[in-house]
Structures are given as structure tokens and as C-alpha cells.
């Protein structure tokens, strides 16, 4: 069965430090993976998706099929990065499964 695991509920880093939010998935098919972000008092929004291989707001994520991971990384964290981050897996044509989320706090 499909599953998305985000092992860290809370993650705190200092401003300017590198940050990595972990995401592992379990799916027998070909995965499509996404990172969504929810800033304080704002709605959930797409941050990036692996098929685009893009960098958004300095964040990148590489799909590692061997390790079944899709970790989100940023070399230098900023205060405005503080938010709730969700990793999501699309299976088949219609379902999107979310992880439990990681709350990132960037300490000034």
C-alpha cells in the first residue's frame, strides 16, 4: 500500500543554516511526488514537484528511487521559511496521499 512518511514532526534550525526535511514513500508503481507548504494563516500551496526538477524559494528536492526518498533541502534557511511542510505522493490518476507534515521553525 502507498504510504508517505515524514519522520520529523518538528524541526528547528538557525537562520543561514542548511535545512533538510525528510520524506520517504512506499509505492509499488512509478511515483509522482510533491512538496506542499502552509505558512501561518495561509492556505496550503504547492512548493515544488519532482517532475519539474525546479528550485522554488531556494528549495530543491531530488527523487531517489533506490532509497524511496524525496527530501526537501535548502542550503541557507531564512526566517520566512518557517511553515508547515507536507510531502505528497500521487498514485494512479486520482489520489494524492500526504505525509503527516513537518513544522519548520527558523530561529533568527
Residues forming the site for other proteins (CB under 8 A): 4, 6, 9, 32, 34, 36, 43-46, 49, 86, 88, 90, 93-101
How much of the chain is helix, strand and coil, in % rounded to 5? Answer: 5, 50, 45
Cα separation values, 105 from 39, 53, 77, Å: 11, 25, 10
- Of 88 and 104, nearer to other proteins (C-beta) is 88
Task: Tell me the residue length of the chain.
Answer: 108
* Closer residue to other proteins in complex, CB, 17/46: 46
* Residue 29 or 75 having the CB closest to other proteins: 29
Amino acid at each position: 500500500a502507498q504510504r508517505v512518511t515524514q519522520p520529523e514532526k518538528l524541526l528547528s534550525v538557525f537562520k543561514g543554516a542548511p535545512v533538510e526535511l525528510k520524506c520517504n514513500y512506499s509505492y509499488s508503481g512509478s511515483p509522482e511526488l510533491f512538496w506542499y507548504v502552509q505558512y501561518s494563516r495561509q492556505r496550503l500551496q504547492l512548493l515544488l514537484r519532482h517532475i519539474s526538477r525546479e528550485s522554488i524559494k531556494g528549495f530543491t528536492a531530488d527523487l531517489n528511487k533506490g532509497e524511496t526518498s524525496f527530501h526537501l533541502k535548502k542550503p541557507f534557511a531564512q526566517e520566512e521559511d518557517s511553515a508547515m511542510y507536507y510531502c505528497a505522493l500521487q498514485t494512479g490518476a486520482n489520489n494524492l496521499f500526504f505525509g503527516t507534515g513537518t513544522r519548520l521553525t527558523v530561529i533568527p
